[in-house]
Amino acid sequence: MTSNAWIELLDETAEAVVNALATFDRWTDGGDRPDQYALDQIADAAVLEVLKPTGVSILSEESGFLQGETSELVIVDPVDGSTNASRRIPHYCTSLCVVDEQGPLAALVLNLANGERFHATRQGGAFLNDQPIEPTNCEQLSEAIIGVAGIPPTNVTPRQYRSFGAAALDLCAVAAGRLDGYMDPLAHHGVWDYAAAVLICAEAGAVVGELEGRELIHSDHALRLGPVAAATPELLNQLGVEQSIDR
C-alpha cells in the first residue's frame, strides 16, 4: 500500500470516530477501567471496525495489541485528551500512526472538536488541513512558549508554559509553529499518545527526543516514555534532550 493509500485509510478510520461520537451524549460516563471513559470505548469500537478487515496489526490504548496478517502496525489512540472531551473542552483528537520495519510511515491527527487535520508521510512533508507546516525558528528557552504535560520542572524556565491536555495535538502545535516546544517531564505517555505526532513533527522540520534518550516508537502496551519536541536542536538541548528522531 502506498503512503497516500495509508492516509486514505487513516482518514476513513478517523471519520468513523467522528460519526460514532456525533450523537454521543454520555460524555462523563466511565468505561470498564478506572482510567477510561465510555467515549473511549465507543471510539475504539469504531476504529476497529475499519481497521480489522484490512489485516493490519493494531496497537490501541483501549483494546491493546491485535495481531494482523500484514507486517504493518497501526498505533491508535481513539480519543487522545479524553478528560478534555468529558468536560467538553475542545482540545481532543484521534491519533493514528502506521509503522513498518523502518519506523513511522504515515500519520494522522484529527481534532475531533474543530476538525483540524494534521497528517504526514515519511519523506513526504507534514500538513495542517492539506497546507504545509513548519516549526518556529526559536533557539532560546528564555524566548520559548513550551507545552507541558503535568507539572513543569523547576530547572526548565522558558518564557511561558502552556498545558492543554492532549499530547498528540500539543506536539502537532510544535510542528505547526504554535508552540516552540513540548515536554512530558513525568514520562507517563503511551506510544499511542505521540507516535503520529512524532512523524508529523519530524516531517515538518521540528526535532524530537525522549527524556532519557530511549527509543520512542515501540509496541509495548505497558511502556511509558517522555516525549520532548522543539522547533530547533538548540532549543531541544536546552530542554535537556538530544535529538533522536531524524526526518
**What three-state secondary structure class fits 25?**
coil
Architecture of domain 141-238: 3-Layer(aba) Sandwich (3.40)
Rounded Cα distance, 228 and 121, in Å: 20
**Is there a shared CATH topology between the 3-132 domain and the 141-238 domain?**
no
Rounded Cα distance, 81 and 89, in Å: 9
Helices 38-51 and 3-21 sit at what angle, rounded to 10 degrees?
140
For the chain, give every domain's residue range: 3-132, 141-238
* The length of the chain, given as a count of residues: 247
The answer to whether 213 touches 242, Cβ cutoff 8 Å, is yes
* Residue closest to 168 by CA, chosen among 243, 240, 110, 235: 110
**What three-state secondary structure class fits 195?**
helix
Q: Pick out the chain residues at pLDDT < 70.
A: 242-247
Across the chain, the runs of DSSP E, i.e. the strands, are 57-60, 64-66, 73-80, 93-100, 103-111, 117-121, 125-128, 131-132, 145-148, 160-162, 181-183, 207-210, 227-230
Q: According to the CATH classification, is domain 3-132 in 3.30.540.10?
A: yes
Rounded Cα distance, 202 and 205, in Å: 5
Q: What is the per-residue DSSP string for 77-124? A: EEEETHHHHHTT-S--EEEEEEEETTEEEEEEEEETTT--EEEEETTT
Rounded Cα distance, 185 and 82, in Å: 20
